[in-house]
């Protein structure tokens, strides 16, 4: 056996006479049974370290997934808040749309001074265009199928035609929706077969 080499201050390392590998000096004194015991202890420590590593990895992955879910929920809530604010804003402007539509639907609209009439129609068109850009769409037309989730039936009108049953006869007030969500239901008169 060669003289032991010191690698650090705490443990003395020597070359094993049989294998030629470096071992701790204390391990050479243990003998075969002692080395087996030491090996078993080191394997147990390694298994424990692997288990802790796996626990830490699992915890990190769970925390990462939780953070991703939290960010997604915050983004969805932000989008819902934006949609609610937009719908509230649009809901407050709808009476202005109704006023323009009622004025232009009046039978005397054609008698109004041409320049003034065209100006009002341009303003109404711009108003509609801005709200359409915000996602507002109007709905409700005669002969559409009646849908109680988006239409308010104000009255019924009898019809002789079987295919007209439960369709819209007249639209009393347009309905509006944004992205499929009803902002204001259409007020309609519905055909009913006798």
Residue pLDDT, tens place only, 26-84: 555 567 777 888 899 999 999 999 999 999 999 999 999 999 999 999 999 999 898 78
Does residue 158 fall inside a structural domain? yes
Distance between CA atoms of 143 and 190, rounded to whole angstroms?
Answer: 9
Round to the nearest angstrom and report the end-to-end CA distance of the chain: 115
Residue range 95-110: average pLDDT?
Answer: 90
pLDDT of the residue at 1? 44
- Answer yes or no: is pLDDT of 18 > 50: yes
- Give the pairing type, strands 12-15 and 136-139: unpaired
Question: H/E element holding 184?
Answer: strand 181-184
Residue range 105-120: average pLDDT?
Answer: 91
Does residue 154 fall inside a structural domain? yes
Question: H/E element holding 22?
Answer: strand 22-24
Question: Which one is predicted more confidently, 69 or 88?
Answer: 69
Residue range 133-143: average pLDDT?
Answer: 89
Q: CATH code at 166?
A: 2.30.22.10
**Which residue range forms the structural domain that includes residue 184?**
138-194
Does residue 2 fall inside a structural domain? no
Domain count for the chain: 1
Question: H/E element holding 175?
Answer: strand 175-178
Question: Which one is predicted more confidently, 70 or 18?
Answer: 70
Does residue 182 fall inside a structural domain? yes
Residues 6+ apart with CB under 8 A from 189: 153, 154, 155, 156, 157, 168, 169, 170, 172
pLDDT class of 6 with cuts at 50, 70, 90: very low
pTM for the whole structure: 0.58
pLDDT of the residue at 164? 82
């Amino acid at each position: 056996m060669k003289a032991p080499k010191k690698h650090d201050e705490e443990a003395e390392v020597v070359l094993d006479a049989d294998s030629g590998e470096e071992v701790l000096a204390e391990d050479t004194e243990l003998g075969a049974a002692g080395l087996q015991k030491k090996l078993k202890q080191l394997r147990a420590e390694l298994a424990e370290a692997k288990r802790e590593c796996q626990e830490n990895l699992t915890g990190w992955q769970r925390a990462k997934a939780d953070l991703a879910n939290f960010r997604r929920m915050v983004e969805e809530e932000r989008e819902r808040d934006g949609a609610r604010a937009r719908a509230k804003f649009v809901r407050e402007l709808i009476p202005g749309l109704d006023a323009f539509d009622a004025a232009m639907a009046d039978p005397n609209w054609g008698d109004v001074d041409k320049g003034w009439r065209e100006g009002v129609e341009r303003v109404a068109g711009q108003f509609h265009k801005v709200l359409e850009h915000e996602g507002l769409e109007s709905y409700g037309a005669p002969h559409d199928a009646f849908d109680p989730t988006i239409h308010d039936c104000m009255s019924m009108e009898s019809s002789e035609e079987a295919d007209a049953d439960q369709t819209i006869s007249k639209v009393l007030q347009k309905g509006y929706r944004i992205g499929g969500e009803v902002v204001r239901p259409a007020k309609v008169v519905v055909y009913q077969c006798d």
